[in-house]
Amino acid sequence: MNSAETPSQHINRNDLHAMAYTDPLTGLGNSYRLRDKVREIAADRASDPAPFTIGLANLDGFKPINDLFGPHAGDEILCQVASRLLACVPDGATVIRAGGDEFAFVLPLVFERKAAEKVGNMLKEVLSAPFDLGDRNVRLSASFGFAVHPFAGEEFEDLLKSADTALYRSKRRGRGQITVYSQEIAQEMKRATQLEQALRNAIIADEVDVHFQPIVSLKNDMVVGFEALARWCDPDLGYVSPAVFVPLAEERGFIDSLSETLLRKAAETALLWPKELFLSFNLSSAQLMDPMTSTNVLSIIQRAGLDPRRLELEITETAVMTDADVAQKIVTELRAAGVRISLDDFGTGQSSLGRLRDFSFDKVKVDRAFVSRISADRASEHIVKAIISMCEGLNLEVVAEGIEDFSEAMKLKSLGCGMGQGYFYGKPADSVTTLRYLAEKYHDTGAAASAAG
């Protein structure tokens, strides 16, 4: 203590120092404490290097809880998270609130990946128990990213960046995931970022294409409509699967611009088909959480000049479950305008029958997982038969997806399935090829024939 200072001045200085390193809400250390703790351990072990680990945890779905129940409830949950983490981290570990709904740990006795994953699984389990908000309980999950010093970075900033990269990968893979940083993961994330930039550029340049797969009536094998499917071939990356780039667009928050571009192109193409054919188009889970989706969709097809009654939108049960109230509102508005709604991938979700009761659908698409085994597996045959029978009772049309061969088509016809699609009836093709296909099917359709050139 400086001889000129009084004891109270000395205490105040200590208090100020403590405050600067403490999160006021939870009482945990803050990001400054994290930095100093990591540097302190690294310095202590400099002469005899031994690895140690830092971890980041981010609460999944915290924002909707905050929005729904208010910031006070959010603060209460964060305090309960802090208490649980403090109670169960390994000996010698430090728990920190890094900010918002993100927490950090310094784990001096965790030396490698498997030990980090073990700690992650234990913490994940602890945070999965319900949080008590007095008159209600709330469940949350958490995603984790770990980085081992010095392999993932010798300096604090590099180590934290590596943990953040690992956490970001966990968040991309869904809820409750655990990732420990490695060079392979760094490369994977770098590729994803490059892919994202290329896709953004392709959308701006209007280079993402639409292909169309025929949907046929199984009564007479005549085409009744087409499903629009995204296709992207990049000059540098080559063909990129929609199973890769569509989820990426959802994760990075630009699925709306991709979907709007594709719907515009698909609607403009559909105008060249015979008017009795419908256009089927997939809505993403992100779009089913956006109250403006129905307005945007109707605006696009109106500008293109497509009759809403010729549009059919496919939604998956998983997408509906994300925010059922908003999804219900979107479905209601679209159906009121004449758009039909299909439930896609039926039979693979968690509560399909409840969704059929609670939502107003026009059509059900039976997932290819059942169709592909219908000829050889009696269980699959009975499931498809039951779906068809149930849909008849509910006045819903049925489309079987993924019909690959003659035997599957014949079996579905014998079961009374109304419609089908799959490689047996036609692979997805670009708009010009689709018009040629229609010109052959509809010999007397002048519009299709002339448009095909």
pLDDT tens digits, one per residue of 384-408:
999 999 999 889 999 999 999 999 9
Cis link prior to 235 (omega < 30° from 0)? no
**What end-to-end distance do the CA atoms of the chain give, in Å?**
92
Angstrom distance (rounded) from CA 69 to CA 79: 15
Distance CA 434, CA 453 (A): 12
Per-residue pLDDT tens digits for 115-151 = 999 999 999 999 999 998 887 888 889 999 999 999 9
Q: What is the largest CA-CA distance in the chain?
A: 104
pLDDT band at 16 (very low <50, low <70, confident <90, very high): low
- CATH numbers and ranges of domains, the chain: 7-181 (3.30.70.270), 195-452 (3.20.20.450)
The DSSP-derived string for 207-236 is: --EEEEEEEEETTT--EEEEEEEEEEEETT
pLDDT computed for residue 394 by the predictor: 87
Query: Region 49-75: what's the mean pLDDT?
Result: 88
What are 303-353's pLDDT values in tens digits? 999 999 999 999 987 777 667 788 889 999 999 999 999 998 886 655 456
pLDDT digits (tens, 9 = 90+) for 250-293: 888 899 999 999 999 999 999 999 999 999 999 988 898 889 99
Q: 133-166: buried (b, 16+ CB within 10 Å) or exposed (e) per residue?
A: beeeebebebbbbbbbbebbbeebeebbbbbbbb
Q: Model pTM?
A: 0.71
